Amino acid sequence: RRPLLGAARNPSFAPVWSHRFHLLTSDKLCRKDWCVVPERGGTDESNCRTKGAVLGMAVLSESALQGIATHKYVSGDYTWLDHKMTPWWNWAAARLPGSFHPNLVTLIGVLGVVLGYFVWVPFAPNFDYDEAPVWVYLAAAFSIFWSQTMDAVDGKQARRTGACSPLGQMFDHGCDALCTHLLSMMAISALGVATPWKVTFITCTSLVGFWFATVAEYHTGMLSTNDGTSGVTEGQFLLMGAQLLTLGGPWLWRTPIINPGSLQLPLVGYTLSLERTVTLVDVAILVGTYNTMRFSFVIFCSLITEYTDYEIVLANGFTKPAP
């Protein structure tokens, strides 16, 4: 293997990074090449931990290393829209060259989102704008669709070429985390949301569901991307729809829905006093927040049901009791 990072300048870097890469791309945990520290000699674990501390690298525990080496990706159930999109994803995957590494497919999808994000930057640097060219909305919507397709076919490409590995899973997760943030920024740009607290709220809310899904995968061994009725695919199509509905400008989202004054809530008999106009963008934020929170709640319940005693969950902090 070629030396990574600082290995060209300092040969002692190479064994450490080489082992990390070997560990993540293999199905077996090989201890004999744990670490080689030429300055101190030997290959014992204590030397490696010392060298890791000098390099500033995080040292994983034995159980964490075993978990990485034996990790197998297990996907959750498909939604109705996932099933409808599967023929397209299969068609696209079948036309990928066999020489394309699945991580390259993932990276190509991420680059599409990055491009769509930077298309928006000149026109809405502060998320507040009056008009943008039609091609900006079309390019943003296409970048979301492109990313969705590549994210769906990279796993199919990995299975077809026999290149499945824990490294690919970790790389895919990292790219998904980046795309989640960039997609929320693109949505904020299209909607013309310039209020600081709203920008912060939308960004944090979009990441909550991702965080819950990742934590649940760690404990349950399955990555859930939907709550049974809607999920990531539906959210991506909503983002595409938001871009297309905003063709010409964000005037649609500034349409007033409820004017300031008193609002009588039906059924509960409560009068709500509004000091500002509720616009369509406020409704869109509310609907998006509800869907994300519902998904997060379903994932949280799956964590709870993974354990036999609620008191054990509280005492051990989601540490599964021994059988």
Report the C-alpha gap between 68 and 27 in whole angstroms.
Answer: 9
Helical ranges in the chain per DSSP H: 13-24, 45-55, 62-70, 80-94, 102-120, 134-161, 166-191, 196-220, 232-245, 280-305, 310-316
- 80-132 pLDDT, tens digit per residue, is 999 999 999 999 999 999 889 999 999 999 999 999 999 998 988 888 887 88
pLDDT above 70 as % of the chain: 71
Strand 270-274 to 261-265 pairing: antiparallel
Given a cut of 70, is residue 211 above it in pLDDT?
A: yes
Instruction: Please indicate whether residue 181 is annotated as part of the active site.
Output: no
pLDDT on residue 240: 95
pTM of the predicted protein model = 0.72
Q: Give the length of the chain.
A: 323
Candidate list 22, 101, 173, 219, residue with the active-site label:
173
Which ranges of 132-231 would DSSP assign to H, the alpha helix?
134-161, 166-191, 196-220
pLDDT at residue 269, rounded to an integer: 57
The CA-based angle 254-259-260, given to 5 degrees, is 120
Mean pLDDT of 179-206: 89
Residues 6+ apart with CB under 8 A from 217: 223, 224
Lowest mean per-residue pLDDT among 157-161, 234-238, 316-320: 316-320
CA distance 183 to 178: 9
- 170 alpha-carbon distance from chain centroid: 11
pLDDT digits (tens, 9 = 90+) for 20-48: 434 344 433 333 333 333 333 444 444 44
Query: What pLDDT does residue 139 have?
Result: 94
How high is the pLDDT of residue 42? Answer: 42
Q: What is the pLDDT of residues 236-260, one digit of tens each?
A: 999 999 999 998 778 888 888 877 7
pLDDT of residue 5: 37
